[in-house]
Amino acid sequence: MFVRTKAVRYRGTTHQYLQIVQSRREGGRVKQIVVASLGKFSDLKESGSLDGIIRGLVRFSDTLRLVQGHEAGALKVQSDRVWGPVLVFERLWEELGLKDLLQRLGKRRKFGFDFERTCFAIVLQRLLVQGSDLSGSKWVRTVHADGFDAIQLPHFYRALGGLWPCGRSTWRWRTKSTSCAPRSAAARAGSSRSPAYACRRSPRR
């Protein structure tokens, strides 16, 4: 249904009437049926009746009630951080067992920060936005997730570096087709972010 104005000419004067109309298909053709005629548009507007009708209809709409409450100052915005993707991907994160696995790994390695939360933040950033670790450390401030407020840039670097030595044990399913070997000090001298291990894919047989 929708609202329309209907022009009616009476004694040389054209009047606009407000109508609620519904479209129906009858015999292969679309036909518009007037559900209700609200009256002359000019009279409704001048008397304030139109605003009263609209306010009465808004009471039955949950969405428009929120908008009306916000405009009236009845609602207060406490946070505008990203939340929806966190709910979806954190559920998958837990169902895949990654949360429990990385928590146990973090306790055993004693990183001094929340290793699991930092790994989740890194993965979530790679899924939602593209950028460096530096931009990721700023991006986490825009996301509503447990533990993200405590994540700092060095945590990104240390979390990524901490995963590499575990390639043969923790991520065995990833190393079936790859071989990892420690990088030399000379190879890592060019960048402080170079991983301690270098992996190459084994040739196909």
Contact, 181 vs 201, CB < 8 A? Answer: no
User: How do residues 36-59 score in pLDDT, each as one tens digit?
Assistant: 888 888 888 889 888 888 888 877
Contact between 196 and 162 (Cβ < 8 Å)? no
Average pLDDT over residues 162-169: 62
Q: What pLDDT, in 10s, does the model give residues 62-100?
A: 777 777 776 777 667 677 788 899 999 999 999 999 999
Indicate if the pLDDT at residue 170 is higher than 70.
Answer: no
- Residue 165: its pLDDT value, please? 62
The rounded mean pLDDT for the chain is 79
Q: What is the pLDDT of residue 171?
A: 44
**Residue spans per domain, the chain:** 2-71, 84-201
